[in-house]
Amino acid sequence: MFDILIRNAMLVDGTGAPARPADIAVKDGLIAEVGAVSGPAARIIDAEGRLVTPGFVDIHTHYDGQASWDPFLAPTSLNGVTSLAMGNCGVGFAPARPDRHDWLIALLEGVEDIPGTALAEGLTWDWESFPDYLEALGRRDFALDVAAHLPHAALRTYVMGDRGGDHREHPTEAEIAEMARLTEEALNAGALGFSTSRTFVHRSRSGENIGTLEAGEAELLGIAAAMRRAGKGVIQLISDAYLTADDAFADRELDLIEAMAVASGRPLSFTVQQTDEAPDRFHHIFARVQQMVAKGLDVKCQVAPRPIGVVQGLEATLNPFLFCPEWRRIGALPLAERVAELGKPDVRERLLQQHAETHPEGFGALIAHGFSRMFRVSDPVDYEPTADRSVAAEAAKAGVTPAQYMLDLLREEDGHRLLYMPLINYARGSLDDVHAMMTAPNTLYGLSDGGAHCGTICDASFPTSTIAIWRKGNKAGASIPLEQLVHGLTQRNAAHVGWMDRGVIAPGYRADLNIVDLEALSVPPPRMVHDLPAGGGRLLQRPRGILLTLCAGVPTFERGEPTGALPGRLLRA
């Protein structure tokens, strides 16, 4: 007898093959039969012609802390993901000497916008070494499978102490050898791979650059050589190559990436996005990667299916009045009192005057004054908003300044109003370049950052957006075939990180499955919930249209709600 039999599915099996009608039988956590299946089953599910896919594979999350207290790992799990990789971008919580706990919390709070109070209360710290960390995860049950990279920032400070947190410091030969030894140890214990960060954007809570920013060739190639000796693991990294207008700098970074791929002999992937400062840099990077692939190297670019945008609002971390002295008082009040304060004429006058006199630089300037790139969050969310819908445009129609208009917007919905500000992958005000990135060779669908940016970004819904947006097409009419989208979310990601037992619906593969109502599939607005330890808040999106998710043949989510089953486990590479 089968455990579960799904009848009347529109099967998209993850390989890129066209959709076809099929039944799917599940037994002992594996796919038993696919096609015209007969025989009894403990549970029969009629898919009624709806889409059935493999469970999605998210290779870019930051649940390293949350995994020590939360078995569900939402919002990623709500979006049909049944396998995830964390420890990306060189940040995580192991290895960790007891005197480095607070430092690592401050780093993750700054780099990934995870509330430090939640981490301080929620982290169990029943580990020191990276193998210890894997053992701690292995003692826990989850609603989906999890795997972890060895993060460079934690490794560096474990070996170098305080010097490891200073990007201007370089390790001695003995310290490089010790980092290499610990890398081999982590890989042999089951680490998915090694991750590092080379971007100035990543800073600690106090504003210091991440210690790995300028890690030298000797350090990185020493670690890469350890990976070659171990014969296992992948490399994941972020570099400033994609955001610079300096051709020479970009090529130096790409030369280093190529050298790491050569020295390690392992698969490597890195972040590629589009910025306003270098809107065509991704073409240059793709061409260089193609040259690397032609040399026999396994190098891929992680790309996103929509803009990377920050969320603003009274409940969010950011809003245009953040830099005003008056906001320091208001921001500490409960939400209802914040709404009331913004309705007082004297408070509004002070905020508007201070705002007009506030001129932060860089990213802060966009947050405070980028009204032409701020948009009301619609339902479903429009991730390709047009200029005529911006706050600046609406304010002009109303005959008031954007700042005045924003004060009223922030008070809408009893203070729950959120605004969307696309910053990355939106240099030309459309998704045309995103389409070019998603359909280029040597790319992976990634960068969801699930578990991070709790009060500023909510991109863990990337898997849902990938299908919801691109099956139909963007506003210019560019689309991507459904089977290609599913392949990118399943088999392609799984194969890159070495998970050859999943990502395909065929006999013998893991019974990780989604039943999806394509017509209903959409991404509603995020909402702030306060369910982290110490009452910490996070933005949460509950997608529509994912009817059922199975992990290892066990239903884990039905119509967005957890069943309570926890069949997930630690994946040791």
Q: In sequence order, what DSSP letters do the residues of 42-59 get, joined into one string?
A: EEEEE-TT-EEEEPEEE-
Could you give phi then psi for residue 244, rounded to 5 degrees? -95, 145
CATH of domain 57-307+427-496: 3.20.20.140
Q: Assess contact for 398 and 315: CB atoms under 8 A.
A: no
- Give the count of beta carbons closer than 10 Å to the beta carbon of residue 425: 25
3-state SS, one letter per residue, for 173-228: HHHHHHHHHHHHHHHHHCCCEEEEEECCCCECCCCCECCCCCCCHHHHHHHHHHHH
- The confidence score (pLDDT) of residue 49 equals 98
What residues contact residue 556 under an 8 Å CB cut-off, 6+ apart?
77, 82, 143, 144, 549, 550, 562, 563, 565, 566, 567, 568
- The confidence score (pLDDT) of residue 199 equals 97
- The confidence score (pLDDT) of residue 205 equals 86
Determine the average pLDDT of the residues in 526-546. Answer: 94
Give, rounded to a whole angstrom, the gap between the first and last alpha carbons of the chain. 32
400: exposed, middle or buried (Cβ count in 10 Å: 0-12, 13-18, 19+) = middle
> Quick one: DSSP state of residue 441?
T
- Alpha-carbon gap, residue 420 to 391, rounded angstroms: 10
Maximum Cα–Cα distance for the chain, whole Å? 74
- Alpha-carbon gap, residue 365 to 560, rounded angstroms: 37
pLDDT digits (tens, 9 = 90+) for 200-235: 999 998 889 999 999 999 999 999 999 999 999 999
Q: Tokens 């610990």 correspond to what residue? A: 182
Backbone dihedral region of 534: left (phi > 0), alpha (psi from -120 to 50 degrees) or beta? left
- Alpha-carbon gap, residue 106 to 99, rounded angstroms: 13
Q: For the chain, give the percent of residues with pLDDT over 70.
A: 100
Task: Label residue 77 by pLDDT band (50, 70, 90).
Answer: very high
Distances (CA, A) of 507 to 21, 26, 32, 503, 511: 16, 9, 5, 12, 9
Strand boundaries in 382-432, DSSP class E: 418-424
Determine the average pLDDT of the residues in 292-301. Answer: 98
Closest by CA position to 137, among listed 237, 236, 63: 63
What residues contact residue 303 under an 8 Å CB cut-off, 6+ apart?
272, 273, 434, 437, 438, 440, 443, 444, 445, 446, 447
Closest by CA position to 263, among listed 220, 326, 211: 220
> Quick one: DSSP state of residue 164?
G
- CATH 3.20.20.140 in the chain is located at 57-307+427-496
Q: In sequence order, what DSSP letters do the residues of 67-136 get, joined into one string?
A: GGT-SS-TTGGGGTEEEEEE-GGG--S-S--GGGHHHHHHHHHHHH---HHHHHHH-----SSHHHHHHH
Q: Assess contact for 23 and 6: CB atoms under 8 A.
A: yes
- The confidence score (pLDDT) of residue 303 equals 98
- Alpha-carbon gap, residue 512 to 509, rounded angstroms: 8
pLDDT digits (tens, 9 = 90+) for 105-157: 999 998 888 999 999 999 999 999 999 999 999 999 999 999 999 999 999 99
- 14: which 2 tokens? 């993850």
Q: Assess contact for 47 and 518: CB atoms under 8 A.
A: no
Q: In sequence order, what DSSP letters do the residues of 313-369 get, joined into one string?
A: ESSSSB-TTTTSHHHHHHTTS-HHHHHHHHTSHHHHHHHHHHHHH----THHHHHHH
Q: Assess contact for 75 and 457: CB atoms under 8 A.
A: no
pLDDT digits (tens, 9 = 90+) for 480-519: 999 999 999 999 999 999 999 999 999 999 999 999 999 9
Strand boundaries in 491-565, DSSP class E: 513-516, 527-529, 538-540, 546-551, 554-558, 561-562
3-state secondary structure of 531: coil
Q: Tokens 């210890």 correspond to what residue? A: 132
> Quick one: DSSP state of residue 522?
B
284: exposed, middle or buried (Cβ count in 10 Å: 0-12, 13-18, 19+) = middle
Determine the average pLDDT of the residues in 452-473. Answer: 96
- Alpha-carbon gap, residue 89 to 201, rounded angstroms: 11
- The confidence score (pLDDT) of residue 38 equals 86
Could you give phi then psi for residue 189, rounded to 5 degrees? -85, -10
- Alpha-carbon gap, residue 257 to 526, rounded angstroms: 36
Task: Label residue 158 by pLDDT band (50, 70, 90).
Answer: very high
pLDDT digits (tens, 9 = 90+) for 39-70: 899 999 999 999 999 999 999 999 999 999 99
Q: Assess contact for 86 and 146: CB atoms under 8 A.
A: yes
Q: Using the CB atoms, write b or e for 180-198: b if 16+ within 10 Å.
A: bebbbbbbebbbbbbbbbb
Find the helix packing angle between 391-398 and 402-411, rounded to 10°. Answer: 100
- The confidence score (pLDDT) of residue 206 equals 86
Determine the average pLDDT of the residues in 339-344. Answer: 97
- Alpha-carbon gap, residue 375 to 303, rounded angstroms: 23
3-state helix, strand, coil in the chain (%, to 5): 40, 20, 40
Distances (CA, A) of 440 to 294, 443, 564: 15, 6, 39
Residue 8 confidence (pLDDT) above 90: yes
Full-model pTM: 0.97
**Which amino acid is residue 364, in one-letter code?**
G
- Alpha-carbon gap, residue 177 to 567, rounded angstroms: 39
Closest by CA position to 87, among listed 234, 274, 265, 279: 234
Q: Of the ranges 27-31, 83-87, 363-367, which one carries the lowest mean pLDDT score?
A: 363-367
